[in-house]
Amino acid sequence: MELSIPAFCGTRMWRRGADSEGHVANFVETEQIIQINGFTSSFVQVRGSIPFLWEQIVDLTYKPKFEIVRPEEAPQIAERHFLDLRKMYGSVLAVDLLNKHGGEGRLSDMFSNAMQPIVSEDLRYLHFDFTKICGHVHFERLSFLYDQIADFLVKNGYFLLNEESEKMEQLGVVRTNCIDCLDRTNITQSMIGRKILELQLRRIGVFAAEETISSHPKLDRCFRILWANHGDDISIQYSGTAALKGDLVRSGQRRVQGILKDRYISFKRYYLNNFSDGTKQDAIDLLQGHYKVSVGGDITPPSQTGGLEAIASFPLALCLVLIGLLLTTMSLGQVGNDPRHLLFSVVWGSISVGIASFVRAKGRIFCNRPRLQLHDKPGY
**pLDDT-derived band of residue 340, with 50, 70 and 90 as boundaries?**
confident
Share of the chain above pLDDT 70, in %: 91
What's the whole-number mean pLDDT along residues 348-370? 91
Higher pLDDT, 6 or 356: 356
What topology does CATH give the domain 28-214? Protein-Tyrosine Phosphatase; Chain A (3.90.190)
| Chain centre to alpha carbon of residue 242 | 12
Query: Which residues are CB-neighbours of 232 under 8 A, at least 6 positions away?
Result: 242, 243, 246
On average, the pLDDT of the chain sits at: 89
Dihedral Cα 111, 116, 119, 123, nearest 10 deg:
10
Residue 2 has pLDDT above 50, yes or no: no
The sign of the CA dihedral 345, 346, 347, 351 is: positive
Q: What is the pLDDT of residue 315?
A: 86
> In this predicted model, what pLDDT tens digit does every residue of 98-113 receive, in sequence order?
999 999 999 999 999 9
User: pLDDT for 122-178, tens place per residue?
Assistant: 999 999 999 999 987 888 999 999 999 999 999 999 999 988 877 899 999 999 999
Write the pLDDT tens digit of every residue in 59-95: 999 999 999 999 999 999 999 999 999 999 999 999 9
pLDDT in tens, 205-262: 999 998 999 999 999 999 999 999 999 999 999 999 999 888 878 877 778 888 899 9
Each domain of the chain, given as residue ranges in start order, spans 28-214, 303-366
Q: What pLDDT sits at residue 373? A: 67
| pLDDT band, residue 294 (cuts 50/70/90) | low
Judge whether residue 298 has pLDDT over 60.
no
The residue among 162, 227, 174, 142 whose CA lies nearest residue 29 is: 174
First CA to last CA distance, the chain: 34
Average pLDDT over residues 35-64: 95
Find the mean pLDDT for residues 271-276. Answer: 95
Measured between alpha carbons, how far is 329 from 8 in angstroms, rounded to an integer? 50
Query: CA-to-CA distance for 354 and 350, rounded, in angstroms?
Result: 6
Task: Please report, as a single letter, which amino acid is at residue 131.
Answer: T
| 301: confidence class by pLDDT, cuts 50, 70, 90 | low
Q: Select from 248, 206, 255 the least CA-distant residue to 227.
A: 248
pLDDT score for 306: 58
Q: What is the pLDDT of residue 332?
A: 87
d(CA 228, CA 244): 10
* pLDDT at site 379: 43
Confidence at residue 1, expressed as pLDDT on a 0 to 100 scale: 47
User: What number is the average pLDDT over the span 19-36?
Assistant: 95
How far is it, in rounded angstroms, from Cα 137 to Cα 248?
Answer: 8
Res. 307 pLDDT band, cuts 50 70 90: low
